[in-house]
Structure 1
Amino acid sequence: MPFITLFPFPIFSIFLKIAEVRKIIVYCRSGHRSVKASRILEENGFHPININGGIKEWKRNNLPVE
């Protein structure tokens, strides 16, 4: 992935004002907060990719992490 940034939920609205990105991948530990974040992005015209189940599910499926 060419560009990855962690945006804590409280500063998420700032991100929406300055974002000029092509793909946004949203994830959290369990998948619940990322669903909320994805909805906010969609409401603001973005097309996020949400990692269902969060990073816990990602690891459980033996997918790569750094």
Structure 2
Amino acid sequence: MDVPTVSIDEIPEDAHLVDVREDDEWAAGHAERAQHLPVTELAERYGELPAEEQLYVICRSGGRSARAVAWLNQSGYTAVNVAGGMGEWQARGLPLVGDSDDPHVI
């Protein structure tokens, strides 16, 4: 599968970041500015995404987000996969938020 891919360093500050991980993964830790849309719900909920913006799609390591990007691009959106996913995000020490006061881990 050949999908457009960017590194975490290439994500603009004002980018629309879409996290396609499942609810439990999202709750454990995510980028504060991300929109949560689990890949398992993408076909039903993709209309919640802004059609006029480029979407930066992220998951844990890049596999699910690559599939989501391929589907979104075939559906008329402009989307790119974030290489390395949230694992890379955490490894770089980028900020995470979560649904508890526990340390946020990916």
Query: Do Structure 1 and Structure 2 share a fold, with TM-score over 0.5?
Result: yes
**What CA distance in whole angstroms lies between the structure 2 residues aligned with 1:26 and 1:42?**
11
Per the normalisation by structure 2, the TM-score is 0.51
| TM superposition shift of 1:51 | 1.1
- Picking from 28, 34, 37, the partner of 2:59 is 28
Task: Give the number of aligned pairs.
Answer: 65
Residue of structure 1 equivalent to 2:93: 62
Match runs of 1:3-22 below 5 Å? 4-16=34-46, 18-19=47-48, 21=50, 22=53
Identity %: 28
User: Of the two structures, which has the highest relative contact order with CA contacts closer than 8 Å and spacing of 6 or more?
Assistant: 2
Structure 2 unaligned residues grouped into runs of 5+ = 1-13, 17-32, 98-106
- Picking from 42, 45, 53, the partner of 2:76 is 45
Rg larger in 1 or in 2? Answer: 2
**What CA distance in whole angstroms lies between the structure 2 residues aligned with 1:57 and 1:47?**
23
**What CA distance in whole angstroms lies between the structure 2 residues aligned with 1:61 and 1:45?**
32
Structure 1 unaligned residues grouped into runs of 5+ = none
**What CA distance in whole angstroms lies between the structure 1 residues aligned with 2:88 and 2:79?**
18
RMSD: 2.2
| TM superposition shift of 1:20 | 5.1
TM-aligned CA distance change 1:10 to 1:64, over 3 Å: same
Which structure has the highest strand share of the two? 2
